[in-house]
Structures are given as structure tokens and as C-alpha cells.
Chains A and B, each alone.
Chain A
């Protein structure tokens, strides 16, 4: 353990008694407190996205809530399909709008990120229109982007011609506040991100 510095060496002799006593108290507190901890780069980088999403309720509470919600669900059942079909979600979800790049100029998408589950998964729902149908075994991939670079894949999908498509995806990563996503076009066998077809608005 590093020995604390000498108070006299720090403050010197030309300080009046009241101020000396005040500084001495701070000196003692600094010695008592010890050094602040080293932060990991992850903590240093700032708040994560997860901090600003509402946590999902625990199992017991969820059961009660589900029971209470059941009546409302039955009563509003006919609305459910409408809501699901039109991108409705929970108030705590976050939504990222994506627009087509020159590689897919008519494409548009909405990526809804749900609160993390107990296992550390971030369920996501991507609703996309205007992407061209790909030939052969090519497919689209959703990539998590961190610091301007593709960081990790979050799921792949295909689309039918002239059809809106909605797919469920997942990001099993500790998301950060500045994270974002893009959609790329992938060819079979390639693990590198392909051409970006959708990027954040």
C-alpha cells in the first residue's frame, strides 16, 4: 500500500490555523478514501443503452401482471392484430428508423429494441419495406454498429418481392448508448459485412 504523503510537505508553513485545519480534514479524508477505482473501458465510455430501458418485471410480478392483463387482452383482442401489424410496442421500447442507401434507395425500416431479458438478450423487431428480393442464397443481415464499425451480427432475414417484412431478431450483447444498427446484403459463405442497404436516418 502506498504511504500517504506528509501533510506538512503538501501545505507548507505559511497557512493560517483555521485554513490549515480545514485542509488537514480534507487530507485525512483523502487518505481514508483511498484511490478511486480504475474503470473498464466499457464503464468509462458512458451510459449504456440498457440503463435507459425499463427492466422487464420479475417472474412473480410478471405472473400477477399477466393475470391482470388477461382480461384486457381478451377485450382488446381484435385490436392486437392491428397493433402488431402496425409496429406498436411497449412504451419502454426504443425505435431506430433506417433508410435505404443507394444500394436500396426505396427501402425503409423500423427497428424496435425491447428491454433486455434476464439472460442478457435484447429482443428486436425489424419491420422493413422496399428491399429487393435477393437471388439464390443471398440474404440480409442486421449488424450492430459501434464506433462506426460493424461490431456484431444480430440476425439475418430474407424478403419477398414487393412485400413488407417483419422479423424478430436478438442482440445478446451489452448495448451502449451510442450503439446503432445497419442492414447489409450478404452472400453465402462470407462472414464479413456486405454492402450496407439500410442505415440510420
Chain B
């Protein structure tokens, strides 16, 4: 049964605070979005969510090693962002590290949750990374996955196929049915774009 709703009515906050934003949320920086989220701007929250969802979930999955628990931690992380966005101060630094700290806390809370068994750390050999290396590696993944979200779709596509699908450049060209030269141009352009974003630290 389909229910026809005349207007796309959705839940609204109480009290509602109408706001007129000069810059579309999609074009706002992460810092600007956080400031708007503090004012209970749901559109800004939605944009921020989609920018960071893969980074947050990836981090949670890496630490918790369980999809259900990682999903719960991800939900909690974004709930924490909604609650605490007012404590973010743009003049103290960019948004990405602030969000990373919130995500890490949500994951730690999930690990410490009394109602759930903690994940047993695996037996480590001398060759495996220690906590410091793992933390650094997590932050690298966080930054790279976030930076990937800034790429145009056609650039992200060739990067994902080249790096994580095991396809050669020729195979990517064949798969996407585009010239090999176009694949190389897009991939190089994507790397340059990622370099710009990562050097700018996602301000």
C-alpha cells in the first residue's frame, strides 16, 4: 500500500529555528557546517554526514572489527556531533581533527560498554604495528577516505578501480569503456586533487 503524502512532511525540531544561509551547504567548509549544525541546521548535518560517513565507519570497523557494533558506534558518533557541535571553535583549528576525536571517543565508549564484551586484541608478533602505528594508520585512513569524498565522481571511480579492484589502467579503460589516455588523465588529476586536499588538512 502506497500512502500519498501531499507534502514531504518530516519531523521538525522543537523549537524550530528558521535560518537563511548565504552559502549552500554543499559548498560550505567542514568548519562552516559544524557551526551551522550547532544552530540545529539539519541540511548542514546531512552534508557533513555524507562527507564523513565512510571515514567514521571505516575507523569504527577497523577498531571494533564487527559491522553491527561499528554501525552503532557510527550512529553514536554523529549523535555526539549533533549534541556537541556548539563546543567546536573554528578559530582553534580545522574540523577534521575535532571530528576524528569525537569518532574515537564514540568507538572507545563502545569498546568500554559494559553490556558488550570487549574485542580481544589479537596475538601480536614483532612485525605487527604497535598502538602508535595503528593510531597513525587509522588517522591516515580517516584523512584519505574523507579526501576521496571531495573528488568528482568520475575521478573517484578511476581511483577506486585502480587501487582497490586490482585492475590495470588498460583494464579500467576497458571496464569504463573510455580511452586509456582518459583513464590516465583522470587518475593523475585525482591524485593532484587529493594532494591539494590532504596538504590543506581539510580546513
Contacts and interface: CB of A to CB of B under 8 A. Distances in A.
Interface of A: 2-5, 9-12, 15, 19, 22-23, 25-27, 29-37, 39-40, 42-44, 46-55, 89, 91, 93-96, 113, 145, 148-150, 174, 177-180, 182, 192-193, 196, 199-201
The interface centre, meaning the residue of B11, B13, B159, B162 with most chain A CB atoms within 10 A of its CB, is B11
Contacts of A47: 42, 45-46, 49, 78
A43 B71 contact: yes
Interface string B161-179: 0111110110000000000
Contacts of B137: 32
Contacts of A29: 140, 143-144, 194, 198
Given A9-B169, A47-B46, A26 B191 contact: yes
Interface residues of B, number: 57
Interface of B: 1-7, 9-14, 42, 45-46, 49-50, 53-55, 57-58, 61, 67, 71, 74-75, 78-79, 81-83, 137, 140-141, 143-145, 148, 159-160, 162-166, 168-169, 184, 187-188, 191-192, 194-195, 198
Contacts of A53: 79
B144 A33 contact: yes
B61 A37 contact: yes
Given A32-B140, A96-B11, 11 more contacts: A9-B168, A10-B188, A30-B159, A35-B160, A36-B58, A43-B71, A48-B75, A96-B12, A145-B3, A177-B11, A199-B3
Describe B's contact surface by its main secondary structure.
Answer: helix
Contacts of A199: 3, 5-6, 9
A199 B5 CA distance: 7
Contacts of A178: 10
Contact of A27 (B4, B143, B191): B191
A194 B165 CA distance: 48
Contacts of A9: 168-169
Given A10-B188, A148-B5, A178-B10, A42 B71 contact: yes
Contacts of B45: 47, 51-52
Contacts of B50: 46
Nearest to B15: A91
